[in-house]
Amino acid sequence: MTDQTIDATIDAASAAAAALGARGGRARSDAKTEAARANGQKGGRPRTRPSVRYRCARCRKTIDGAASRAPFCPTRHRTPVRMLRVAEAA
């Protein structure tokens, strides 16, 4: 091999490595970008609701639950008792 051929091979390898490095440094692929845009048009991810502390009016037991609805007390009373939301400290 001549020096010119070796230099050309090194330059080609360097260019290929640079292209791979630039591509590997991307945060997203084209497919992921398209999927994220489609998901955004549908409304995106659902929001998470913070957990809320509830207390049973009968046995005073406290549990954490979803803010959407009050849970029933887990101590199995004869009649189901809904938990009451505990007032948040200011």
The string of pLDDT tens digits covering residues 30-60 is: 888 888 889 888 888 777 777 888 888 888 8
* 11 and 29 within one domain: yes
Whose tokens are 């849970």? That residue is 71
- Asked whether residue 37 is domain-assigned, the answer is yes
* Number of structural domains the chain divides into: 2
* 55 and 28 within one domain: no
CA distance 17 to 39: 34
Q: End-to-end distance of the chain based on CA atoms, in angstroms?
A: 80
Please, which pLDDT band fits residue 90 given cuts at 50, 70 and 90?
very low
- Asked whether residue 21 is domain-assigned, the answer is yes
Average pLDDT taken over every residue of the chain:
80
Mean pLDDT of 7-11: 84
* 60 and 37 within one domain: no
- Asked whether residue 76 is domain-assigned, the answer is yes
* 9 and 36 within one domain: yes
Q: pTM of this prediction?
A: 0.42
pLDDT of 8 > 80? The answer is yes
To the nearest 10°, report the CA torsion of 67, 73, 75, 78.
-160
- Asked whether residue 90 is domain-assigned, the answer is no
Domain carrying residue 15: 3-41
- Asked whether residue 71 is domain-assigned, the answer is yes
Residue 74 tokens, joined: 């887990």
* 37 and 56 within one domain: no
- Asked whether residue 46 is domain-assigned, the answer is no
Amino acid identity, position 73: C
